Structure 1
């Protein structure tokens, strides 16, 4: 067997030795629209792509820069090449985290021109965690113990066709990448 995955657009991508020229936004949008949040342990299907769209829209609603909104859209892009690993388990996978960070740095550099600053990372972390609170409430009927964070968008966890999510992801990417 080979040491690569074949992507939606037919590229041979080695997640352990990522090459920026093989990273493709169409692959990211397609795969994330088909990967379920929470490792599939949710009441209804909700894709990582939908979550990333929410994060980007929430960043814009908080008056963040287009750069940060684009980073929010891309913050789980490594999962299209490495899969989604639940947070509690991911904390124990130090090599996985290093590979994921390396791949995200390549993705951010390709689409943002550089890696995120510490301040950008922190802003993105807050947005991601705030939306995770809503995912827990609406996808698992299990609101976290932390107080409900305010959102500036409406969190709609309606099941949507993957093609619709993929199209919205690509459209938002183009809007933020101008």
Structure 2
């Protein structure tokens, strides 16, 4: 008998039901159970900085992801649409696991990273991207991610300019951002719209119609 289970007891549930009706196995995620509408819905309701930001609305991972894709294109204007899509989806796994701050991720260690990587792989396959992002693209996305975090930290999360520069580095030359956190419904819609544009530009089949209300 497995440790922690009573005799005759079933194993703990390891899947989550999404609003689209999909049931995603968290331990062995299938690309067929991943929908862009579920991702957008979840990310629009996941707060960056654990919600410790100013303003009426939290700054969502969905809105953050749209900005990161924009910064990638600023840094590298000739970036292929498929890699811009990879930038938009760089935090897509957080629709299931939430946005854990970096120190906590480090504390959880390898098992968390492996879980995250399996989910990211399934997401990439679902939307036509290579299972593994090329190193150069990963570095570009990380640079854009840090740039966005700089603006978030100094405008929303109470960090001084000095702290922001020390933690995240200076944003790319010629790029500036004034953040206005969006309500979840608007962040969700923008995310799906951006996905549709990039997916079509990359020559991938777009996801189907929205499976539930976004208002």
Query: Could you say whether these structures have the same fold, taking a TM-score greater than 0.5 normalized by the shorter chain as the test?
Result: yes
- Greater mean alpha carbon deviation, residues 33-42 or residues 141-150: 141-150
Partner in structure 2 of residue 51 of structure 1? 64
Higher Rg of the two aligned structures: 2
Relative to its length, the structure with more helix (as a share) is: 1
Contact 2:54 2:157 in 1 (8 A): yes
The superposition leaves residues 47-105 of structure 1 with CA deviations (integer Å, 9 ceiling, x where unpaired) of 00000000111122231221221111101100001111111110122211111012112
RMSD: 1.7
Contact 1:4 1:14 in 2 (8 A): yes
Q: 2:136 & 2:144 partners in 1: Cα distance?
A: 13
Q: 2:186 & 2:48 partners in 1: Cα distance?
A: 17
Partner in structure 2 of residue 113 of structure 1? 129
Partner in structure 1 of residue 13 of structure 2? 2
Q: 1:163 & 1:153 partners in 2: Cα distance?
A: 27
Contact 1:54 1:155 in 2 (8 A): no
1:128 to 123, 145, 149: 145
Stretches of structure 1 lacking an aligned partner (at least 5 in a row): none
Residue 74 (structure 2) pairs with residue 61 (structure 1) = yes
SS in 2 for 1:92: helix
Write out the 4+ residue segments of structure 1 that deviate beyond 6 Å after TM superposition: none
Number of residue pairs matched by the alignment: 178
Give the TM-score normalised by structure 1. 0.92
Q: 1:18 & 1:173 partners in 2: Cα distance?
A: 21
Give the TM-score normalised by structure 2. 0.77
